Chains A and B, each alone.
Chain A
Amino acid sequence: MTMQRRNFLKAAGIVSAASVTASLTGCASAPVPRKQAAGHVVVVGGGYGGATVAKYLRKWSEGGVRVTLVERNPTFISCPISNLILSGDKTLDDITVSYDGLKNRWGVKVIQDEAVAVDPVKRTLRLAQGGSLSYDRLVLSPGVDFLWSLVPALDAKESQEKILHAWKAGPQTVALRKQLESMKDGGVFAITIPKAPYRCPPGPYERASVVASYFKAHKPKSKVLILDANEDVISKKGLFTKAWSELYPNIVEYRPNHELIDVDVTNTTALFEFDKVRADVLNVVPPQRAGAIASAAGLKLVNNRWVDVDWLSLESTNTPGIHVLGDAIFPAPTMPKSGHMANQHAKLAAAAILNLLAGEAPNPNPVVMNTCYSFLSSTEACHVASIHQYDAEKKTVLPVPGSGGVSAVRSVAEAQFALGWAKNIWADALA
Chain B
Amino acid sequence: MPFARHLMSRLSLLAVLAAGLGSTAAFAADPNLARNLAATCANCHGTDGHAQPGAMDVLAGQDKGMLLQKLNGFRDGSRPATIMHQIAKGYTPEQLDLITTYLAAQKREGK
Segment among A123-131, A199-207, A265-273, A405-413 that sits at the interface with chain B? A405-413
- Which chain B positions have C-beta within 8 A of A416? 54-55
- Which chain B positions have C-beta within 8 A of A32? 3
Q: Is B70 an interface residue (CB 8 A)?
A: no
With known contacts A363-B30, A366-B36, A419-B55, A403–B89 Cβ distance under 8 A: yes
- For B86, give its contact among A366, A405, A423 (CB under 8 Å): A405
Please give me the residue from chain B that is nearest to A411 by CB atom: B82
Q: Is A428 an interface residue (CB 8 A)?
A: yes
With known contacts A411-B82, A420-B54, A33–B7 Cβ distance under 8 A: yes
Q: Are A387 and B90 in contact, with the CB atoms below 8 A? A: yes
Q: Are A364 and B30 in contact, with the CB atoms below 8 A? A: yes
Q: Do most interface residues of chain B lie in helix, strand or loop, or is the interface mixed?
A: helix
Residues in A382-407 with C-beta less than 8 Å from chain B: 383, 385-389, 400, 402-405, 407
Q: Is A11 an interface residue (CB 8 A)?
A: yes
- Which chain B positions have C-beta within 8 A of A369? 40, 87, 90
- Which chain A positions have C-beta within 8 A of B10? 33-34
Q: Is B78 an interface residue (CB 8 A)?
A: no
How many of chain A's residues have a CB under 8 angstroms from any CB in B? 57
Segment among A278-286, A301-309, A339-347 that sits at the interface with chain B? A339-347
Please give me the residue from chain B that is nearest to A35 by CB atom: B6
Q: Is B17 an interface residue (CB 8 A)?
A: yes
Q: Are B35 and A417 in contact, with the CB atoms below 8 A? A: no
Q: Are A400 and B18 in contact, with the CB atoms below 8 A? A: no
Q: Is A367 an interface residue (CB 8 A)?
A: yes
Q: Are A424 and B28 in contact, with the CB atoms below 8 A? A: no
Residues in B62-110 with C-beta less than 8 Å from chain A: 82-83, 86-87, 89-91, 95
Q: Are B30 and A355 in contact, with the CB atoms below 8 A? A: yes
CA–CA, A394 and B55, complex, Å: 38
- For B28, give its contact among A11, A34, A348, A385 (CB under 8 Å): A11
13 contacts between A and B (CB under 8 A): A3-B18, A34-B6, A347-B42, A367-B40, A367-B91, A383-B83, A385-B87, A387-B90, A413-B82, A420-B55, A423-B52, A424-B44, A431-B47
Chain B residues in the interface with A (C-beta under 8 A): 2-3, 6-7, 9-11, 14-15, 17-18, 23, 25, 27-33, 35-37, 39-40, 42-47, 51-52, 54-56, 82-83, 86-87, 89-91, 95, 111
| 3 nearest CB pairs, A to B | A387-B90, A420-B55, A403-B90
- List 10 additional A-B contacts (Cβ < 8 Å) besides A343-B43, A371-B87: A7-B14, A33-B7, A36-B3, A340-B43, A365-B27, A403-B89, A411-B82, A417-B55, A417-B82, A420-B51
